[in-house]
Amino acid sequence: MAKKKQTLEDKLSVKNETAWIGITKAQEKKIHDFSEDYKAFLSKVKTEREAVEFIVAAAKKKGFKPLASYKKLKAGDKVIFTNMGKLAALAVIGKDPIEKGMKVVASHIDSPRIDLKQKPLYEDTDSELALFKTHYYGGIKKYQWVNIPLAIHGVIVKADGKILNVIIGEDPQDPVFIIGDLLPHLSHKAQADRKMPEVIKGEELRIIIGNRPSSDKDAKNKLKLNILEILNKKYGIIEEDLISAELQVVPATGARDVGLDRSMVGGYGQDDRVCAYTSLRAIMEVDKPKKTALALYFDKEEVGSIGATGAQGGFFEMAVGEMLEKAVPNYRYSILKRAMANSRALSADVDAGVNPMFKSVHELGNAAKLGHGIGICKFGGARGKGGSNDANAEFLGELRMLFNKTKVPWQYTELGKVDEGGGGTVARFLSEHNLEVIDCGPPLVSMHSPFEIASKVDIYSSYRAFMEFQKAD
Ligand code: MN
Ligand code: MN
């Protein structure tokens, strides 16, 4: 096809076109192959713990080693950090001293979900059902989680301290679980007038797990006892073991191609495991960079980045400090502070793609569209940028230059109209270290739902963006 002549308007205006235009056969193949790998990851990895395991295993295959196995660090060394099994970091030591700053890509590996309560099990004899009580995690629209097959992932710490890993509902032979909605025939009074956040209430998010009584004639709670008997037989646990457990309820379904043109990936947990996966693949391609490359995979972003494994937990600084101790002969705290302050970071997190049914929440001139490449977002927050990291124009300029030079499809995005709502990422917590940071990631449609949608070309653009950022000087 002949190239269209560039008009004066094209030359002077911001580009606003889909990244699918002009894609070569070779690029098409790369995007396809990458998406296949990504879908396999997304179908398998559904919790922060599983993400850490995946990251560590993949990194080890590429020559990354735990910090403890290095006496001294030199350019090209590849380091793995983990914290409490829920936070991971990977580093590739650069040719410049670390003190001159790092190239950081920080994503989060927790996703909105439904956690079991610590005393979850009860029976309801009016319905003859055994159920688990839950407490949801992160910002979900509760009504979306009813009537879909659910799986349980997590750990149970037994009375003797032994840790049991549990995954039920992923193997095709496994049972799945469900939260039952009310039938439409009878919902007129009980549910029809409820407002959206209460269509299903928090305490109504109860997981159906059984319908058969125990054969023990003396038991008072036969439905509950039957479940306890099954758990005891299969895992050797008693009810108190569930108190020291973290059991997460997630969609039992895997990732799939979406669309007749197969241009999109649908699946659970793309916020923000799409950035975790793409930044993992990116840093695995980085060899002896000028600046030390660091990929951070945080937990707890969906509940405010609190806790030891969240971005506010101090792990970032500790990891860099420990690296410096092995890389610098006369390590001092001021060197650590300088290393942080000289760094540049991408807060790699998803943006809100325009949903054709709800366009009114966006100011369309500054909104992200599926297929237009990775989104760059200068600020988030709410009520006048409140609580957001407002990135510096200089850093935005640097990225713009890099992505244009390396032909990474990118677009500018904001979260929504000025007074529409808002949200934050780990960017503001990274910025507390006095470094340059900006939000950057692919747009999603149906964010925070059990089945989020991303465009394959944006996923691939994100991988390339993170890689080019960490490879560049
Ligand atoms: Mn996110
Ligand atoms: Mn989120």
Mean pLDDT of 284-306: 97
Bigger pLDDT: 473 vs 136:
136
**Closest C-alpha among 98, 100, 93 to residue 74:** 93
Q: What percent of the chain has pLDDT over 70?
A: 99
Let me know whether 372 and 411 are in one domain: yes
Start-to-end CA distance of the chain, whole Å, equals 36
- Is 93 part of a structural domain of the chain? yes
Let me know whether 105 and 158 are in one domain: no
Query: 129: CA distance to ligand 1 center in Å?
Result: 36
Does the pLDDT of residue 369 top 60, yes or no?
yes
Mean pLDDT of 18-24: 94
pLDDT band at 113 (very low <50, low <70, confident <90, very high): very high
Q: Which ligand is nearest to the CA of 274?
A: 1
Q: How are strands ordered across the β-sheet holding 452-455? A: 256-258, 264-267, 452-455, 443-445, 351-352
Q: Which ligand is nearest to the CA of 138?
A: 2
Let me know whether 387 and 292 are in one domain: yes
Does the pLDDT of residue 83 top 70, yes or no?
yes
Select from 222, 251, 280 the last residue of a domain: 251
Mean pLDDT computed over every residue of the chain: 96
Say which DSSP state 416 is in.
Answer: S
Select from 190, 216, 251 the last residue of a domain: 251
Query: 302: CA distance to ligand 1 center in Å?
Result: 7
**Closest C-alpha among 132, 193, 168, 130 to residue 250:** 168
Angle at 277 between CA 149 and CA 274, to 5 degrees: 60
pLDDT band at 382 (very low <50, low <70, confident <90, very high): confident
State the pLDDT at residue 3. Answer: 63
Does the pLDDT of residue 432 top 90, yes or no?
yes
Q: Is the dihedral of CA 93, 97, 102, 108 positive or negative?
A: positive
Query: Number of folded domains in the chain?
Result: 2
Select from 198, 222, 251 the last residue of a domain: 251
Query: 218: CA distance to ligand 2 center in Å?
Result: 48
CATH number at residue 394: 3.40.630.10
What pairs with residue 412 in β-bridges? 376
**Residue in the block written with tokens 């943006």:** 351
Q: How far apart are CA 311 and CA 294, in angstroms?
A: 14
Query: 317: CA distance to ligand 1 center in Å?
Result: 21
Say which DSSP state 5 is in.
Answer: P
Let me know whether 73 and 36 are in one domain: yes
Beta strands 102-108 and 344-348 are parallel
Does the pLDDT of residue 7 top 90, yes or no?
yes
CATH number at residue 201: 2.30.250.10
Query: 206: CA distance to ligand 1 center in Å?
Result: 26
Does the pLDDT of residue 71 top 60, yes or no?
yes
Does the pLDDT of residue 11 top 70, yes or no?
yes
pLDDT band at 424 (very low <50, low <70, confident <90, very high): confident
Indicate the range of 15-19, 71-75, 240-244, 379-383 predicted with least confidence.
379-383
Structural domain of 154: 113-251
Let me know whether 464 and 392 are in one domain: yes
Query: 201: CA distance to ligand 1 center in Å?
Result: 24
Q: Which two tokens stand for residue 47?
A: 């919790």
- Is 8 part of a structural domain of the chain? no
pLDDT band at 198 (very low <50, low <70, confident <90, very high): very high
- Is 235 part of a structural domain of the chain? yes
Does the pLDDT of residue 2 top 80, yes or no?
no
The per-residue pLDDT for range 310-328, each reduced to its tens digit, is 999 999 999 999 999 999 9
Query: 7: CA distance to ligand 1 center in Å?
Result: 38
Q: Is the pTM of the predicted complex or chain greater than 0.75?
A: yes
Does the pLDDT of residue 1 top 80, yes or no?
no
State the pLDDT at residue 416. Answer: 86
Query: 63: CA distance to ligand 2 center in Å?
Result: 31
Let me know whether 373 and 410 are in one domain: yes
Let me know whether 155 and 245 are in one domain: yes
Q: How far apart are CA 155 and CA 162, in angstroms?
A: 10
Mean pLDDT of 63-78: 97
Burial class of residue 404 in the structure, from the number of CB atoms within 10 Å of its CB (0-12 exposed, 13-18 middle, 19+ buried): exposed
Let me know whether 125 and 227 are in one domain: yes
Q: How far is CA 76 from CA 260, 286, 331, 471, in A?
A: 44, 9, 20, 12
- Is 47 part of a structural domain of the chain? yes
Query: 326: CA distance to ligand 2 center in Å?
Result: 35
Query: 304: CA distance to ligand 1 center in Å?
Result: 11
Q: What percent of the chain has pLDDT over 90?
A: 93
Let me know whether 242 and 314 are in one domain: no
Let me know whether 247 and 289 are in one domain: no
- Is 260 part of a structural domain of the chain? no
Query: 254: CA distance to ligand 1 center in Å?
Result: 20
What pairs with residue 124 in β-bridges? 129
Query: 82: CA distance to ligand 1 center in Å?
Result: 20
Let me know whether 190 and 272 are in one domain: no
Let me know whether 124 and 100 are in one domain: no
- Is 30 part of a structural domain of the chain? yes
Query: 272: CA distance to ligand 2 center in Å?
Result: 7
Query: 297: CA distance to ligand 2 center in Å?
Result: 14
- Is 1 part of a structural domain of the chain? no
